[in-house]
Amino acid sequence: MDRSLFVSMSGAKETLQAQTAVSSNLANLNTTGFKADLEQFRSMPVFGPGHPTRVYAMHERPATDFDPGPIQTTGRELDIAIQGEGWLAVQAPDGSEAYTRRGDLKLSPEGLLLTGDDLPVLGENGPIAIPPAQKVEIAPDGTISILPLGEKPAVSVVVDRLKLVRPPVTQLVKGLDGLIRLKDGATAPADAGVTLVSGALEGSNVNPVAALVEMIELARRYELQVRMMKTAEDNADASARLLRMGG
């Protein structure tokens, strides 16, 4: 069978993988603090006996788009958005430290401060626990203050401070769980220069128009690869008929 069949088959397979990445970006269009995955194709020559006349396609995720998303005011006291560069430290499901821009915070029944996807938020000494209070305030520097139950409005108690970090973007990598980590597996130190906007949320940085255009382009590319497979099959059938006639 003509090797072009395998070339077009690999192209169709890699195109489907790229389509999956674009679909994931679109599915997270309304996810708070989501960072879009970038994708690209690369030519991979096939080496072996003879000359490398065949080139296969390979899809890869070279990087993540770390540009900030739009900030929208909500007025909710536990909503925060990071202004400019920086990340909020959280505890990943495996217990390790990871980073996110998701600022839709909430309190668990036990008083733990969690992100919208139920990850414990880290402070200066680990996960943050907030006692029962009339009001919770988060300052621009990440300091968490509460108005204890039964106290006068003038009484404010500092509970903890959010761990905010600002490592270089070149040192960051996005995991399959959507969380950001340092490439070397280390933890970033707290950065007092990171500032917050209280009562606001950062939206996803996915460009819906660009993602839709890319999805259409990938669909057409997949159809082209399928047509190439059909052409290879027709050529193989024609060759078989010629051989039968010659016999």
pLDDT for the residue numbered 60: 66
3 state SS for 191-209: CCCCEEEECEEECCCCCHH
Phi, psi at 59, each rounded to 5°: -95, 140
- pLDDT score, position 18: 84
Helix 4-27 and helix 208-246, axial crossing angle in degrees, nearest 10: 160
Residues of the chain where predicted confidence (pLDDT) is lower than 70: 1-3, 5, 41-44, 46, 50-60, 245-247
Mean pLDDT of all residues belonging to the chain: 87
Nearest by Cα to 190 from 87, 113, 112, 93: 87
Total count of residues recorded for the chain: 247
Task: Domain ranges for the chain, please list them.
Answer: 4-65+206-246, 71-202
pLDDT at 235: 73
- Model confidence pTM above 0.75: yes
Strands 113-114 and 106-107: antiparallel
